[in-house]
Structure 1
Amino acid sequence: MLKNYAVTIAVSSIAAFFLLYFLFAYSGIMLSVESGYQIGEISRWCERISSGYFREPSNALSNIGFILTGIFMVWILSREEVTGQNFFIGFTSISVLYASASIFLGPGSLMMHGTHTVWGQWIDNVSMVAYIIIPWLLNFKILNGWSENQFLAGYFSILISFSVLSWFFGSELGIDFSLFGLSIGLWIISEFLYNFYSSFMRFFSGFVGYAVLWLFGTSPYEVLINLEDFWWTLFFWLPGLIATNKPESYRKYNPWFFAGCFFYILAFTIWLQGNLIINPDSEWCYPDSIIQPHALWHIICALATLSFFFFYRTEKRSITS
């Protein structure tokens, strides 16, 4: 069975990735320097730009955290049988997708920090979207009664569309639209509906998105006076429109969901300190240190992905879908 070789396949794929990376880096055809910067200068992520195989060594190699946690997920899943009661027990299309997307975060981000190429930045954005759309689409599946095939069709349609459009128009698609940022809101809103489903809550749920936005530093007042920049917040009512079925399952939120949220908020706080575009006078910026704020962001976010993996494994269903 394929699952018997899953860990070997995952490890071999990562080994092949690093082999190809070093071969192309050695040949000199893959490495660049981000526009506006030079070797020896401080990157926008605080680390000094190196002439070696990794332009930002700590920020690049810290992405191994995603790879290790993702392979750990694969190892857990490969030792189980599918129960039919939880999509994250055993090798299901959804559990494999989640573990694969978690692993993909590593090479995706490593390519950006390692190569400083335009396409490296592109694959980094693609990898983040590949992960972050899973949670809210999974909730949409449950709240609207989608089949696994419908879920997968929706997932790959969104991911492929984003990949193509972001290649030509940038990560915000040329319309000031952050799919990654919106997805965080859609995740929490749909999670809210999963727990508090009712006709009234379907309407009210959109306001939860503004609370999430506020948590990350943008108040409802700022949204109101800058509607041309925050037009996309209208999508906060999408989960309410999609949610036509009351979930016939439940999840245990303590400790794993709260742990995942804690790790992500902690990581985001540190991320702000390592972003010289947002915080040019950061007191946490030590360009020549092996410990970089952005590297910590990667490591702690990897712990968040693992926490959410365990969270989804707590779901109990009364029926299969």
Structure 2
Amino acid sequence: MPDADSPGTARSRNRPLIVTALTAVGSVSLLGAALVFGWLGPDVGRGGSFCEAARDAFIKQPANTLSNLGFVVAGLAIAWHVSRRGTGALSASLGTAYAVLVVLLGPGSAAMHASQSALGGRLDVYSMYLLASFVFSYAAARLLALLFAGFAGLFVVVLGVCTIAEFTSADVPVVMTTGNAVFAVLLLAGLVMEVVVRSRGASRLDLRWGLASAAVLVAAFVIWNTGKDGGPLCEPYSLLQPHAVWHVLDAVAAWLLFRFYASSRPGWG
């Protein structure tokens, strides 16, 4: 068995950070290539309702695009924590998966705001669906005492529901689309289930981290809602965009949610 300082142990310990860093570099590079070569398709105004005026430039919405780097930073910070300080209730593999999904929120959302293309819009919402499906499925699996296979199966099913919602055309008050509504419901349901699990004494989660994540999400949603086209915070040509603040706050909320998971004793996940 290798000792704590052996190369094999060091590689194993650093694997979450390496995997997440490679995901960050690869996805951001792929997005850059897609923008340069036009792989995302023409500008159809996707994401144009989030206030920032589209420029006649390589990046249509600079503030709303570049603010997505917050997700990349948050994902890397989570991976560093997994590698150096452990994961609590999460295994290293699930902690790494969560870090990767947080990273992918960045280029996914940036694809839409940089190109305003239809494909960019799909990448944006699917990066959101992946994370929301993880949050919901992980909470449900712990609430129902499912094994890892149950978590994985539930994740696939929930992602399928998100896909149906994405292709269901309907205007939903406040949140705009069916897909946004499903995303919000999954996050809310996941947080509620975590509270139930905690109240049953089935875990030792430090609920303060979860409540902090929820509070930041509420603040982010208020800013998101008031910063859309015609909203009181909307200034189309300002470099300080409410939707950009939404991105940064969401990245903070994702970090806080990880700390919530990592505050618990080790378990199957």
TM-score range, shorter chain: 0.7 to 0.9
- In structure 2, what residue type is equivalent to 1:27? F
What is the DSSP-based 3-state SS (H/G/I as helix, E as strand, rest coil) of the residue aligned with 2:217? helix
- Cα deviation code 1:110-164 (max 9, x no counterpart): 111111111211121111111122223222212211111221222133325634x
Q: Structure 2 stretches of 5 or more lacking a match?
A: 1-10, 172-176
RMSD: 2.8
Is the contact between residue 285 and residue 293 of structure 1 (CA under 8 Å) also seen in structure 2? yes
- In structure 1, what residue type is equivalent to 2:224? W
What is the DSSP-based 3-state SS (H/G/I as helix, E as strand, rest coil) of the residue aligned with 2:146? coil
> How far apart are the structure 2 equivalents of 1:20 and 1:135?
26
Aligned-pair distance for 1:50? 1.4
Is the contact between residue 67 and residue 104 of structure 1 (CA under 8 Å) also seen in structure 2? yes
> How many residues end up aligned between the 2 structures?
253
Matched, 1:268 2:269: no
- In structure 2, what residue type is equivalent to 1:248? A
What is the DSSP-based 3-state SS (H/G/I as helix, E as strand, rest coil) of the residue aligned with 2:40? coil
What is the DSSP-based 3-state SS (H/G/I as helix, E as strand, rest coil) of the residue aligned with 2:92? coil
- Paired position in structure 2 for 1:30: 40
- Paired position in structure 1 for 2:130: 130
Give me the TM-score of the superposition, normalised by structure 2: 0.82
Is the contact between residue 191 and residue 210 of structure 2 (CA under 8 Å) also seen in structure 1? no
Is the contact between residue 46 and residue 118 of structure 2 (CA under 8 Å) also seen in structure 1? no
Aligned-pair distance for 1:106? 0.9
Matched, 1:191 2:194: yes
> How far apart are the structure 1 equivalents of 2:248 and 2:46?
28
Matched, 1:108 2:61: no
- Paired position in structure 2 for 1:233: none
> How far apart are the structure 2 equivalents of 1:6 and 1:47?
36
CA, structure 1 residues 171+148, in 2 after alignment: closer, same or farther (shift >3 Å)? farther
Is the contact between residue 267 and residue 297 of structure 1 (CA under 8 Å) also seen in structure 2? yes
Query: Quick check: 293-302 or 186-195, which moved more?
Result: 186-195
- Paired position in structure 1 for 2:247: 298
Q: Which has the higher contact order (CA 8 A, sep 6+)?
A: 2
> How far apart are the structure 1 equivalents of 2:262 and 2:170?
32
> How far apart are the structure 2 equivalents of 1:263 and 1:106?
18
Aligned-pair distance for 1:251? 1.4
> How far apart are the structure 2 equivalents of 1:302 and 1:25?
23
Match of 1:87 among 86, 89, 92: 89
What is the DSSP-based 3-state SS (H/G/I as helix, E as strand, rest coil) of the residue aligned with 2:207? coil
> How far apart are the structure 1 equivalents of 2:233 and 2:136?
34
Superposition pairs of residues 1-16 of structure 1, within 5 angstroms: 1-16=11-26
CA, structure 1 residues 7+171, in 2 after alignment: closer, same or farther (shift >3 Å)? farther
Aligned-pair distance for 1:320? 5.4
> How far apart are the structure 1 equivalents of 2:78 and 2:162?
26
CA, structure 1 residues 152+2, in 2 after alignment: closer, same or farther (shift >3 Å)? farther
Query: Quick check: 49-58 or 9-18, which moved more?
Result: 9-18
- In structure 1, what residue type is equivalent to 2:102? S
> How far apart are the structure 2 equivalents of 1:312 and 1:103?
17
CA, structure 1 residues 142+27, in 2 after alignment: closer, same or farther (shift >3 Å)? closer
Aligned-pair distance for 1:35? 4.4
Matched, 1:75 2:85: no
Aligned-pair distance for 1:250? 2.2
- In structure 1, what residue type is equivalent to 2:17? V
- Paired position in structure 2 for 1:250: 204
CA, structure 1 residues 2+123, in 2 after alignment: closer, same or farther (shift >3 Å)? farther
- In structure 2, what residue type is equivalent to 1:76? H
- Paired position in structure 2 for 1:236: none
CA, structure 1 residues 123+264, in 2 after alignment: closer, same or farther (shift >3 Å)? same
> How far apart are the structure 2 equivalents of 1:154 and 1:259?
26
Aligned-pair distance for 1:80? 4.7
> How far apart are the structure 2 equivalents of 1:14 and 1:185?
27
CA, structure 1 residues 52+181, in 2 after alignment: closer, same or farther (shift >3 Å)? same
CA, structure 1 residues 248+36, in 2 after alignment: closer, same or farther (shift >3 Å)? closer
- Cα deviation code 1:9-65 (max 9, x no counterpart): 43333223333333332234435323499xxxxx31111101222211110110100
- In structure 1, what residue type is equivalent to 2:66? L
What is the DSSP-based 3-state SS (H/G/I as helix, E as strand, rest coil) of the residue aligned with 1:55? coil
Q: Structure 1 stretches of 5 or more lacking a match?
A: 38-42, 198-246
